[in-house]
Chains A and B, each alone.
Chain A
C-alpha cells in the first residue's frame, strides 16, 4: 500500500465520486456474500410472501444424512473430476499453445490467437449450443467420424461420457483466457536471457527448462488458481448442454442453482428452496477454499524440495 498524499481536490468531492460504487459493492456484493451463511440456517424460499424461519442445522443435516448418499458422492466426485480435468488439461494445452504462438518459426500467429480467443467473446450460451449441434449423436459430424472407427457415443446424452464432454466444452470456451495470459507472461521474459543462454550453448529443451518455465511459472500459477476457482464455480456449460437430466453431470455449483432457482432440472424438485440452496453454496465455498489451500500447499512443498 502506498502512502497517503495531500489531495489536490476537496475530500468531499473525492468521496462523493466513490460513493455510488461503494454503496453497490456493500449492498449487492459484501452483504449478500455474508448473508449466504445466515440463510443456510433458514427455510427461506424464493417466492415472495411465503413465511420463513430459522431451522438450525436442519439444512446441513439434510445435506449430509437425508439425501441419497449415492447422489451426494456423485456430486462431489463430479465436482472434483470437473475441476481437476479442466484445470490440468486447459493449462497444459494453453502452455503448448502459448509456446507455439510465441515462436518465431510460426507465421500468422495473430490469426491463430484470434481464433482461439473467439469463444471467450461468444459466451457460454452460444458455445454450448454450437457444441450440442456438432456433437449431435444422431449422425452428427463427430458421431459419423468416430463411426468410421466403429465407435459410437451419446455425447451429452450419455451418462458415462456427458461429464467428459462438459469438461471439453468448458476448456474450448475458456482456453483463450489462459493462452492470452501465458502469452503476456512469455513476452515479459527478457530476450537477453535467451541470448546469454545461446552463448553458453543451451539446447532448446534446456532453454525451456532453465529459462522459460521458471520465469513463466508465476503466470502459470495464476492461471491454475483462476482455473481451480473458476471451474468449481462454473455450472453454465453443464446447465446448457446436459441440462442436468441425470446425476451424471451434477456438480456442487449446479446443485446450488438447481435448489435455489429451479433452473437446472426438468422436474420441479428444486422448488426455489433458497435456504437449502444457500447451504449448498456454503459447502461449495468450503470446497473451493480447501481446493485452493491444498494446491498452494503442494506448490510450496515442491518449491521447498527444489
Chain B
C-alpha cells in the first residue's frame, strides 16, 4: 500500500471500463452467432443456452463464403505483392538520392493527401476503359506504391549503408538482381510489417467492392457479409455467424503478428 494506491485504482477502473466496451460487443456477437433463432428472439440479450453451429453452416451457404474467400485471397495476394514491390522500387532511388527529380517524384506521392477526392473520375476512367465489374478494374485502384509503405521503406533504406550498392555495382551486379538478392532480404522486417498492413486493408475493403462489382462471381468475402444484411435483415444469428467467419482469419493473424502490425501503424502515423 503506497501513495500510488488511489491512482492505481483510478487507472485500473478506467482500463476495466475500456476492456468491457471493447470486448463485450465481440463476445456478444459470438454469443448471438451460436444461438438458435428462436432462442435469440425470445431474449436477445441472454446467454446462449447451448451451442448451435447450424447458423455457421447456413450463413456459409447463404453468404456464398466458399466462393468469395478464394476471390479475397486472390485480390489480397495480387494487390499486396504489386503494391509492396512498387513501393520498394520507388523508395530505393528516392531514399538514396540517386535521381535529380527524386524530390519532385516524392512530392507527387505526398500531395494526394491535399487534393480533392478522386473517386468519381477514377470510376469514370475505369468505366470507359471497360473495366467496370472486372477483377482488374476492382484491383487497379487498390494497387499503388505510395502511402505508408513508401514512407516506411524510405526511412528504412536510409539505415542500410550505401557501401552495399557500391560493392555490388563494382562486382558488376545489375540493379534488379541487386534489389532481389541483397536489398529486399535486408529490408525483411519493414517488408513484413507493410505486407500485413496492406493485406489487411485489401481484405477489409468493402466500398470498392460495392462500387465496382455487380457480378457475384467476383465478390470478395466482405461483400458476402454486406449482401447478407440486406437480404436476411431479421436473422441476426446467421449474420453474426457470417461476421465471425469473416473476422476470424483477421483475429487469428492479429494474434500472431500484432507486433509487426502495430510497428507499421506507428511508422504511418509519424510520417505526417
Contact = CB atoms under 8 A, between A and B. Distances in A.
B97 A5 contact: yes
Contacts of A138: 44
Interface stretch (B24-32, B49-57, B67-75): B24-32
B44 A18 contact: no
Given A4-B97, A117-B262, A18 B120 contact: no
B96 A7 contact: yes
A153 interface: no
A2 interface: yes
B236 interface: yes
B11 interface: yes
Nearest to A44: B124
Nearest to A47: B127
Contact of B25 (A27, A31, A130, A278): A130
Nearest to B209: A125
B261 A129 contact: no
A36 B117 contact: yes
B243 interface: yes
B222 interface: yes
Interface in B255-272: 258, 261-262, 265-266, 269-270, 272
B230 to A, nearest CB: 9
Contact of B93 (A7, A30, A122, A129): A7
Contacts of A222: 269-270, 272
A115 B24 CA distance: 11
A116 B162 CA distance: 40
B28 A134 contact: yes
B38 interface: no
Contacts of A284: 116-117
Given A25-B144, A134-B25, A32 B122 contact: yes
A305 interface: no
A22 B116 contact: no
A39 B246 contact: no
A96 B25 contact: no
A98 B270 CA distance: 16
A33 B226 contact: no
Interface in B22-51: 22-26, 28-29, 32, 43-45
Nearest to B243: A129
A139 B46 CA distance: 10
A136 B14 contact: no
Nearest to A218: B270
B97 A3 contact: yes
6 contacts: A4-B98, A21-B144, A25-B145, A28-B125, A115-B18, A184-B269
A100 B270 contact: no
Interface of A: 1-5, 7-11, 13-15, 17-18, 20-22, 24-37, 39, 44, 46, 48, 96-97, 100-101, 103, 105-106, 112-126, 129-131, 133-134, 136, 138-141, 143-144, 172, 176-177, 180-181, 184, 204, 222-223, 225-226, 229, 233, 236, 240, 256-257, 260-261, 263, 274, 277-278, 281-282, 284-285
Contacts of B166: 8
Main secondary structure of the interface of A (DSSP, over half): helix
A133 B116 contact: no
A136 B8 CA distance: 35
A9 B175 contact: yes
Contacts of A177: 265, 269
B247 interface: yes
Interface in B86-121: 86-87, 89-90, 92-93, 96-100, 102-103, 105, 108-109, 111-113, 115-121
Contacts of B178: 9
A216 to B, nearest CB: 13
A274 B211 CA distance: 12
B22 A115 contact: yes
B173 to A, nearest CB: 9
Given A4-B100, A8-B165, A115-B19, A126 B247 contact: yes
A106 B144 CA distance: 41
A255 to B, nearest CB: 12
Contact of A30 (B86, B112, B124, B229): B112
A129 B29 CA distance: 9
A116 B22 contact: yes
Contact of A21 (B18, B86, B132): B86
Given A100-B15, A222-B269, A285 B175 contact: no
B187 interface: no
A105 B9 CA distance: 10
Nearest to B267: A184
A133 B128 contact: no
A112 B17 CA distance: 11
B197 to A, nearest CB: 9
A122 B252 CA distance: 11
B168 interface: yes
A122 B86 contact: no
In the complex, the 9 A-B pairs of residues with the closest C-beta atoms, listed nearest first: A21-B145, A32-B118, A123-B204, A17-B89, A181-B269, A35-B121, A33-B115, A7-B98, A13-B175
